[in-house]
Amino acid sequence: MAKKKATSRAASTRVQLPPAEVRYAEELTALSASDSAPRPEGWALSPQAVVDFICGSDGVKVGKTKAGARVITEKFVGPRDIVQRCVVTLAGERGLMLVGEPGTAKSMLGELLAVAISGTGSLAVQGTAGTTEDQIRYGWNYAMLLDRGPVREALVPSPVMTAMRDGKVVRFEEITRCLPEVQDALISILSERRLMIPEMDQAGDGEGNSIFAAPGFAMIATANLRDRGVSEMSAALKRRFNFETIAPIADEVRERELVSTRAAALLAETGSPVAVDQSLIELLVTVFRDLRSGRSDEGWQVTRPSTVMSTAEAVAVATAITRESVFFPSGFDPVSRMPGHLLGVVMKDEAKDRERLLAYWDGPVRRRAEDGGPLWKRLVELRGDLEE
């Protein structure tokens, strides 16, 4: 009976995606134990250890004791010097702006940096068309405000205010989706490192009317190049950020490995550990890269669809097809599922994208089939799945 209770409690506390600080708690402990380099004030790790946490320790075990030593996994696939520059920015007085196409791991990189530097990635504002200044600065608990006036306890701090007070990294997701006048609330925060609360001038409680940023406070913003542009940000705000452009993964082999390991990890997290079909991954990543770049490895021209063929979408397709193979194993042919999923990825904005996908089928896919690739032959047979 007691056992049953314990199990059901464990089940009810399971979450779909634990935050990064929980997922990587052991790695963070091992890094912290072996990290003897100086840490900027307010930082949980030294700059070098932050980069190692994100880019991995190349198979080398870190940690003081044998029991606590661990290999640090590579989490962000990309140039180490970009991550290094991000870390240097965050130790300075400017904000860090990660820009790029959708699905290039900007949010993931922002969260990992925040976790490594501050121990938490949970201080975050999600920018939307409806984001208000209150969500960037502070709001009020109106019941208390009416009862006691504008005192500190009646403040409802935004994640930005909390980060300033506690000396932590705050993330601002999709900043360009907010109205420019709302974005501009950040200018004084980033330059003066102080948040004024004019209402408290009247309180006369001697507590002062400002929150000053503690050491360790920094901001990481992300902006998607496909949304309303970075060009609409005010020049004054842009000057308060160092920009880093995050590009899709350059190396094909590394992209394949990432798609395969991420799909396997996602399936394991949801309780279906299963081997991911490597020939499916190879095919899928090749198709994604051709459609993304507008050129195949053989040098053939490809008409690009208007949608972004991101690595994140490739992971989603690989995961979905593999999950289907678990649910419906009998006679399952993973390649037969590809055209339907590809159409789902491609057909988001323009009806013409179907024609572009068909043109890709009639070009590179057919030519590779003629060169004898069995999986490409199978794709040619499935062309009908792409037609209306």
Ligand X SMILES: Nc1ncnc2c1ncn2[C@@H]1O[C@H](COP(=O)(O)OP(=O)(O)OP(=O)(O)O)[C@@H](O)[C@H]1O
Candidates 289, 298, 293, 294; CA nearest to 359 is 294
Residue among 202, 289, 184 nearest 240 (CA): 184
Q: At 384, list the tokens.
A: 């009908």
Do 130 and 179 form a contact (C-beta atoms < 8 A)? no
Say which entry of ligand X, Mg ion, none residue 53 contacts (CB below 5 to 8 A, set by partner kind): none
**How far is Cα 365 from Cα 361, in angstroms, rounded to an integer?**
5
Distance in angstroms (rounded) separating the CA atoms of residues 308 and 311 = 9
Please give the residues from 293 up to 352 whose contact with ligand X meets the rule CB under 6 A: 311-312, 315
Tell me which of ligand X, Mg ion, none is bound by residue 102, counting a contact when its beta carbon lies within the kind-specific cut-off of 5 to 8 angstroms.
ligand X
- 365 touches ligand X (CB under 6 A): no
Q: Which residue(s) pair with 244 in the sheet? A: 98
How many residues sit close enough to Mg ion to count as binding (CB under 5 A)? 1
Residue 241 in the binding site for ligand X (CB under 6 A): no
CB of 113 to ligand X, least distance (A): 12
Cβ distance 98 to 222 under 8 Å?
yes
C-alpha to C-alpha distance for 289 and 292, rounded to whole angstroms = 5
Q: Contact with ligand X (CB under 6 A): which of 32, 34, 104, 319?
A: 104
d(Cα 208, Cα 193) in Å, to the nearest integer?
Answer: 15
CB nearer to Mg ion: pick between 107 and 296: 107
CB of 310 to ligand X, least distance (A): 7
Stretch that binds ligand X, among 45-53, 73-81, 183-191, 274-282 (CB under 6 A): 73-81
Q: Which does 233 bind (CB under 5 to 8 A by kind): Mg ion, ligand X, none?
A: none
- Interface with ligand X (CB under 6 A), residue from 137, 240, 256, 262: 262
Per-residue mark of binding to Mg ion, 80-109 (x: CB under 5 A)? ---------------------------x--
Within residues 174-233, the interface with ligand X by CB under 6 A covers 222, 224
Give the one entry of Mg ion, ligand X, none that residue 105 binds, where binding means its C-beta sits below a cut-off of 5 to 8 angstroms depending on kind. Answer: ligand X
**DSSP letters of 12-57?**
HH--SS--HHHHTHHHHHHHHHH--S---TT-SS-HHHHHHHHH--
Q: Distance (Å, rounded) from C-alpha 195 to C-alpha 248?
A: 37
Among 106, 137, 177, 289, binds ligand X (CB under 6 A): 106
Choose between 101 and 277: whose C-beta lies nearer to Mg ion.
101
CA distances from 144 to 197, 200, 306, 316 (A): 16, 14, 51, 46
Binding pattern for the stretch 76-95 against ligand X, x by CB under 6 A and - elsewhere: xxx-----------------
Residue 168 or 262 having the CB closest to ligand X? 262
Interface residues with Mg ion (CB under 5 A)?
107
